[in-house]
Structure 1
Amino acid sequence: MELAALVENIPFETLLLYLSALIIPLLFSVYNLTTSSGPKYIKKEWDRYPILERRVISEGERPVIFLTVGARTRDLPTGSHVKLRIPNPSDPSRPIIKSYTPTRFDGSSCELMIRIYPSGAMTPSLYKLKVGDTLEMMGPTGLHRYLGSGTFTYGKKTYDNIKRIGMLAGGTGVTPMIQIINKIIEEEGDDTEVCLCCFNTTTEETLLEDELKEAMSKSGGKVEVKFFASKTGKGTTEKLSMRSMSGPGIIKLLGIKEGEEDSSIILMCGPDGFVKHVRKELKEDGSMKNIMIW
């Protein structure tokens, strides 16, 4: 009662001033806690994000690494990319920029799979990154989108009513394919069928084989994955080179039957020579109209 009587005797303006002095610092503390805890949100402006984990998953002349970057996302569209930027030692005014498709993007981290080319402009620098270093990144970028239930968009162009997806991946070109496969598996009611063909030079260069086999087993028969190597075949990997494939052979390999071309789409991602050959052969064949290239 004494406290209530005391408050009643304080002028309203003075009471408001006291309350403001208490509440405003509290609000700032709550704001700082909610915004500074955890990784920053990725945005369409350059910013630096920390390397949380680094793994070498393939050795050799062209090793492959996983970099897990601490970055949060509100909603990364399936099929989209992020951009990385590093300084250009030969021309500081023109930094080196390259797009990558994350293999995984969850609430607090972005996982990138990167093949290191000894003479590459960017990848040797990425190979030297250690846990705790930071990396310049922005996103999401790119026009490719998988909206689910057999619908793709590329800018203003829409491919819908797709019942079968044929995927052709050369090396690290498997990354956008994994994104799409995971969405199909996770999204209830998406019955789109997928056939993914992974091409590499040797069986040792095959990437994410265990993860892809696990996705296939979890898909309930919706996803089929085939592994090929141009020099050696071993285990579940068949000896086959994309350079030996014709347009009709590629379509058959993907399980697209005659009469199903309009309800099917071919997605491809890989080295320039790989993509150039596939485009040429499919163009000469002429039966496939729905084609997307990452």
Structure 2
Amino acid sequence: AAVPPPPPAAACCGSLSATLQSASATKHSSSTPAAAASGAAAAAVGGGYLWAASSRHEAAREPGGAPRALRAGEALYCTLTEKQWVTPSAVRLRFALPSAEHVLGLPVPGHVMVIDDAQIYRPYSPVTVDSQAAGYFELLVRHYPGGEISTRLAKMSPGERAHFRGPVGNAFEYTASAAPRRIGMVAGGTGVTPLWQVVQAALADEEDRTRLSLVYASRRADDILLRDELERAAAAHPDRFSVCFVVSEGGGAPAGGVAGRIDAAVLQRHLPQPSEDGSGVLVCGPDSMLRALCGPRARDGGLAEAARRPPLGGLLRQLGYEDWQVCWL
């Protein structure tokens, strides 16, 4: 059975993507005509899935020559080479690509579909990005009892193969900026994975003048995923990236974090002000968090109805953000 195509994306996210792209126009003004046309097409569709609106992630190779493993409409089978439980319920998996030169071939942020034998599928955001990983990619999987795909992945042993499809993009695609700008991010649980892609891509480019801040909510301190990586990134780039851990249970948050839940005060302290030029906010997490931040109807209709998402509500609207400044992934 064929894997369904990704759903359309929300217009508000397209506006955010176009706004942030306009801030980066100086850096990319010398891009090739093909790349410029791709960016224009992506902005023109008002938030359509950028991998579908542009041929940039459908080509067999990266502009620099690295072959892409993911090809639209084709199955990709990869062998598990490393497995590490990072919390009692979360496992990090490394899969080999067809050669040491291959990259996965995803936009940032991007997802792969994991397919099981019964054609049940689920999207996962790798915790590696093409610019930093050749020959492999990694997934961070939270195992949920009764979850068919997460259970299958959690039970895999090195040497076994998994079936992937893609590339799958988002309404928002990250581009570097030569002009100063700020992007705030709010994550809950495994929702940190696509945002970690953005952090890696931004910090790897020394010419990128984007400043990033992340508010990351977890139940307990020992549930925080990618904590070491996030803390190292913040320590290495204090002028470009900051992270605030918010822990709701278990007696306390890490140093500099917050015990409790995300509220207006936390958001005001760590996110860019709505009035800042070129500012935007990315949100990724469980439905309850999205509804609190973006409004009670944030998930109405599911992904298939994404093109008809309601206006922004919730805490972010109360703080003054406009629809076009916020994108939930």
Query: CA-to-partner distance for each residue in 1:101-139, whole Å, 9 max, x for gaps?
Result: 111141111100010111223211111111000000122
Contact 1:165 1:192 in 2 (8 A): yes
Deviating runs (4+, > 4 A) in structure 1? none
Contact 1:83 1:99 in 2 (8 A): yes
Q: 1:223 aligns with which of 241, 249, 257?
A: 241
Contact 1:185 1:218 in 2 (8 A): no
1:240 partnered with 2:260: yes
Q: 2:112 aligns with which of 78, 82, 86?
A: 82
Deviation at 1:47, TM superposition (A): 2.5
In structure 2, runs of 5+ residues without a counterpart are 1-66, 296-313
Change (3 A) 1:40 1:141: closer
Contact 2:187 2:283 in 1 (8 A): yes
Deviation at 1:250, TM superposition (A): 5.3
Query: CA-to-partner distance for each residue in 1:84-105, whole Å, 9 max, x for gaps?
Result: 11133xxxxxx21111111114
| Alignment correspondent of 2:328 | 293
Rounded to whole Å, the distance in 2 between the matches of 1:40 and 1:141 is 14
Contact 1:58 1:205 in 2 (8 A): yes
One-letter amino acid of the structure 1 residue matched with residue 85 of structure 2: V
Q: How does 1:26-65 map to 2 (within 5 A)?
A: 41-44=69-72, 45-59=74-88, 63-65=89-91
Contact 1:167 1:254 in 2 (8 A): no
| Alignment correspondent of 1:273 | 288
Which region of structure 1 is more displaced relative to structure 2, 108-117 or 218-227?
A: 218-227
Q: 1:147 aligns with which of 175, 181, 186?
A: 175
Question: Which is higher, the Rg of structure 1 or of structure 2?
Answer: 1
One-letter amino acid of the structure 2 residue matched with residue 67 of structure 1: L
1:169 partnered with 2:187: yes
Contact 2:91 2:154 in 1 (8 A): yes
| Alignment correspondent of 1:108 | 135
Change (3 A) 1:272 1:162: farther
The TM-score with structure 1 as length reference comes to 0.73
Rounded to whole Å, the distance in 2 between the matches of 1:223 and 1:80 is 21
SS at match of 1:278: helix
Q: State the Cα RMSD in Å.
A: 2.2
Aligned residue-pair number: 232
Query: CA-to-partner distance for each residue in 1:131-179, whole Å, 9 max, x for gaps?
Result: 00000012221233102118xxxxxxxxxx7711111010111111111
Q: 2:148 aligns with which of 116, 121, 128?
A: 121
Which structure has more strand as a fraction of its residues? 1
Deviation at 1:204, TM superposition (A): 1.1
Rounded to whole Å, the distance in 1 between the matches of 2:104 and 2:282 is 26
SS at match of 1:273: helix
